[in-house]
Chain A
Amino acid sequence: MSTSIKTYSKSDYINFSVLMVLGFLVIPMTVNSDYWFTSILIPWLCLALATIGQQVIMGYTGQLALGAAGFMAAGAFACFNLILRVDGLPFFGALAISGLIAAAIGIVFGLPSLRIRGIYLMVATLASQFFIIWVIDKFGWFKNYDSSGIITAQDIVIFGRPYTSPVDMYLVILVVVTVMTVLAINMARGSTGRNWMAVRDMDVAAESMGVSLLKTKLQAFAISSFFCGVAGALFAFTYLKSLEPVAFDIKLSFKILFMCILGGLGTINGAFIGAGFILLFPVLLNYLGNNVFHGAIDATIISAMEQVVFGVLMIVFMIYEPLGMARLWENTKQRLFKKKDK
């Protein structure tokens, strides 16, 4: 298997087709519990999209940025206001513009990356997290002067047809996530991604090859925030079904950071693997607690266990496999295929 092939190989197309059939046909037809759609598939796709955003800036460009949830909030509230205030704006249009607004904010908060790096940049980008939430809270206009603090998100309407059932919303998200993931893979594999990684691995050398640090870093911040913004809008409109700044707090930023690291820095499929793991792991623990131990273990202990296991896993992965679960998956696949060859 050659990684240098820049055009897509046959196996890429086969994988893509299989996933598409699975996502668009098999899952909607076989899964009939709303629980799976509303509590697992929908948040998984939304958070995976945000994690791709985090991958672009952290995994590919090597800028330690922490504040994905802030940009998600920006996207969510932008989308709410666009649908509220612009008549006849189609949902996908509002989604795209929300992403662009988040991207513009991302560029502004990306500016410090030109001067500082590493852990200091993380602190600087943390400002975006708090600043965006503060602005939304402070100025009533963003919440349409709603005093309750929780605003119900509008229904998703596409070509006059409302998409409100869990399966419908799942399909809407799947379309957006598919398109954006393909775009992300194209960029990551192409010259754009190479410039990002060059800046990540050795910025002086990258500059000597004619890669502009200013342009590349800000571009990565913009694209990263775009992905987070769109993910945030989808997250609010389909999973939360409401808009409240509290939902986009620092905890969510950390969650996305963990998804990014556990999934594997600098991989796109790692975003999906990491998001899936972090979402499903508590579900699994609960299941074990209820069905294996029959409630013998207190629920609070289970949720505490969750934190412990995540923490340990983070450390283990950082030390032994910085490329995360995506790499484990690749290794397993290669081992399986090698055995078949013999």
Chain B
Amino acid sequence: MSTIEERKFKIGDPILEVNNISLSFGGVNAITDTSFNVLEHEVRAIIGPNGAGKSSMLNCINGIYKPQKGSIAFKGDTLSKITPNIIAQMGISRTFQNLALFKRMSAIDNILVGRKLHSKANFMDVALQLPKARKEEKVNLKKCEEIVEFLEIEKIKDTPVGKLPYGLQKRVELGRALATEASLLLLDEPMAGMNVEEKREMCRFILEVNEEYGTTMVLIEHDMGVVMDISDRVVVLDYGKIIGDGPPEEVRTNQNVIDAYLGVSHGE
């Protein structure tokens, strides 16, 4: 689908560096001494069997989990006091594996929440509908309408998202992440539970955003076909450890990766 030659944004220096991260819950090690980086403007996939620590990895980057060891650096700054809120302010946005939409709000309202960091009006401005608040609302609404149009969800924009089918909910969630205009997007299984058609569309959206705005993407995906198609580089996790890292073609032929996916028992 995308060839590297025609890219508007050339893949650049590392934007995110994960250094020797370890995370455990009680006695269970979710991630063990893991390091990888993400280059600016690239589409980076994280794959691995169930329970490999993929979502935990995103939750560490996003500040929901705090790794016991190691550090994460974004745009050269080491993230020390990380909360999801601070991470969002630094320009990292995300979607969630099991959908974390605001169920009782309409699709457009969900996407508008993504504009939070671009809203400067306080509650008094809003209550009194001062020009500042009105102007800002107009700009934010316009931006969100553009996203709605891009994701082709005009028809359902006023529907409470709880009532939407799964595939559309996933799209709204992507829309909300896009509305933040973050420079790094973390997508946790954006295509899980979708049919082929829906997957193809989702791929198109992801690639288009990457090409159009140069947004760096980190995505977790199970469908190997999709991963091979859209990602520039792939990290393979198994039991919290990295067993492969590189371009899709290379990872595909890596013996460790094949073993992990075919279920060769460990410790042999």
A190: contacting residue among B108, B117, B133, B176, CB under 8 A: B133
With an 8 A cutoff between CB atoms, is A209 at the interface?
yes
Known: A191-B116, A191-B121, A191-B137. A206 touches B126 (CB 8 A): no
Say whether A195 contacts B116, CB under 8 Å: yes
With an 8 A cutoff between CB atoms, is A201 at the interface?
yes
Known: A187-B127, A209-B113. A202 touches B103 (CB 8 A): yes
Say whether B104 contacts A201, CB under 8 Å: yes
A7 CB to closest chain B CB (Å) equals 8
Say whether A210 contacts B116, CB under 8 Å: yes
Interface string of B74-115 (1 = CB under 8 A from A): 000000000111011100011010001111111011001111
With an 8 A cutoff between CB atoms, is A284 at the interface?
no
Q: Which of A206, A208, A219 has the most CB of B within 10 A?
A: A208
Say whether B126 contacts A191, CB under 8 Å: yes
Residue of A nearest to B134 (CB): A7
Report Cα–Cα, A208/B203, bound state, in Å: 23
Say whether B109 contacts A197, CB under 8 Å: yes
With an 8 A cutoff between CB atoms, is B129 at the interface?
yes
Report Cα–Cα, A186/B137, bound state, in Å: 12
Say whether B133 contacts A210, CB under 8 Å: no
Interface string of B115-131 (1 = CB under 8 A from A): 11101010100111100
With an 8 A cutoff between CB atoms, is B141 at the interface?
yes
Say whether B106 contacts A206, CB under 8 Å: no
A187: contacting residue among B64, B88, B101, B126, CB under 8 A: B126
With an 8 A cutoff between CB atoms, is A266 at the interface?
yes
CB-defined contacts of B84 to chain A, threshold 8 Å: 204, 207-208
Known: A191-B119, A207-B85, A208-B87. A183 touches B127 (CB 8 A): yes
CB-defined contacts of B109 to chain A, threshold 8 Å: 4, 194, 197
B90 CB to closest chain A CB (Å) equals 10
CB-defined contacts of A190 to chain B, threshold 8 Å: 126-127, 129, 133, 137
- CB under 8 Å from chain B, chain A span 23-52: none
Residue of B nearest to A183 (CB): B127
B180 CB to closest chain A CB (Å) equals 6
With an 8 A cutoff between CB atoms, is A10 at the interface?
no
Residue of B nearest to A189 (CB): B126
With an 8 A cutoff between CB atoms, is B22 at the interface?
no
CB-defined contacts of B101 to chain A, threshold 8 Å: 201-202, 205
Interface size on A, residues (CB 8 A): 32
CB-defined contacts of A6 to chain B, threshold 8 Å: 137, 141
With an 8 A cutoff between CB atoms, is A223 at the interface?
yes
With an 8 A cutoff between CB atoms, is A2 at the interface?
yes
A272 CB to closest chain B CB (Å) equals 19
With an 8 A cutoff between CB atoms, is A64 at the interface?
no
Chain B, interface residues (CB within 8 Å), range:
35 or more
A-B residue pair count with CB separations less than 8 angstroms: 111
Report Cα–Cα, A233/B165, bound state, in Å: 48
Can you list 30 A-B pairs with a CB-CB distance of less than 8 A? Answer: A4-B106, A4-B109, A7-B134, A7-B137, A186-B126, A186-B127, A190-B137, A191-B115, A191-B116, A191-B121, A192-B126, A192-B127, A194-B112, A197-B105, A198-B105, A198-B113, A201-B103, A201-B104, A201-B105, A202-B101, A202-B102, A204-B64, A205-B102, A207-B84, A207-B88, A208-B93, A210-B89, A210-B116, A210-B180, A211-B85
A191: contacting residue among B89, B105, B112, CB under 8 A: B112
Report Cα–Cα, A198/B176, bound state, in Å: 12
Residues of B at the A interface (CB closer than 8 Å) are: 62, 64, 83-85, 87-89, 93-94, 96, 100-106, 108-109, 112-117, 119, 121, 123, 126-129, 133-134, 136-138, 140-141, 157-158, 176, 180
- CB under 8 Å from chain B, chain A span 4-30: 4, 6-7
Say whether A211 contacts B113, CB under 8 Å: yes
CB-defined contacts of B126 to chain A, threshold 8 Å: 186-187, 190-192
Residues of A at the B interface (CB closer than 8 Å) are: 2-4, 6-7, 183-184, 186-187, 190-192, 194-195, 197-198, 200-202, 204-213, 219, 223, 266
Report Cα–Cα, A41/B74, bound state, in Å: 59
Say whether A219 contacts B117, CB under 8 Å: no
Report Cα–Cα, A206/B109, bound state, in Å: 12
A194: contacting residue among B96, B113, B157, CB under 8 A: B113
A179 CB to closest chain B CB (Å) equals 10
Residue of A nearest to B64 (CB): A204
CB-defined contacts of B176 to chain A, threshold 8 Å: 209
Given contacts A192-B127, A209-B113, A211-B116, 19 further A-B contacts (CB under 8 A): A4-B157, A7-B137, A186-B126, A186-B127, A186-B129, A187-B123, A187-B126, A191-B115, A197-B105, A198-B113, A201-B101, A201-B105, A202-B100, A207-B83, A208-B64, A208-B87, A209-B114, A209-B117, A210-B85
Report, nearest first, the 10 A-B pairs whose CB atoms are least far apart.
A205-B100, A210-B88, A201-B102, A190-B126, A210-B117, A207-B84, A183-B127, A4-B108, A192-B123, A208-B84
CB-defined contacts of B64 to chain A, threshold 8 Å: 204, 208
A103 CB to closest chain B CB (Å) equals 12
Residue of B nearest to A215 (CB): B85
B153 CB to closest chain A CB (Å) equals 12
Known: A205-B96, A207-B85. A194 touches B128 (CB 8 A): no
CB-defined contacts of A209 to chain B, threshold 8 Å: 88, 93, 113-114, 116-117, 176, 180
CB-defined contacts of A3 to chain B, threshold 8 Å: 106, 158
Report Cα–Cα, A335/B104, bound state, in Å: 22
Known: A191-B126, A210-B180, A212-B85. A197 touches B112 (CB 8 A): no
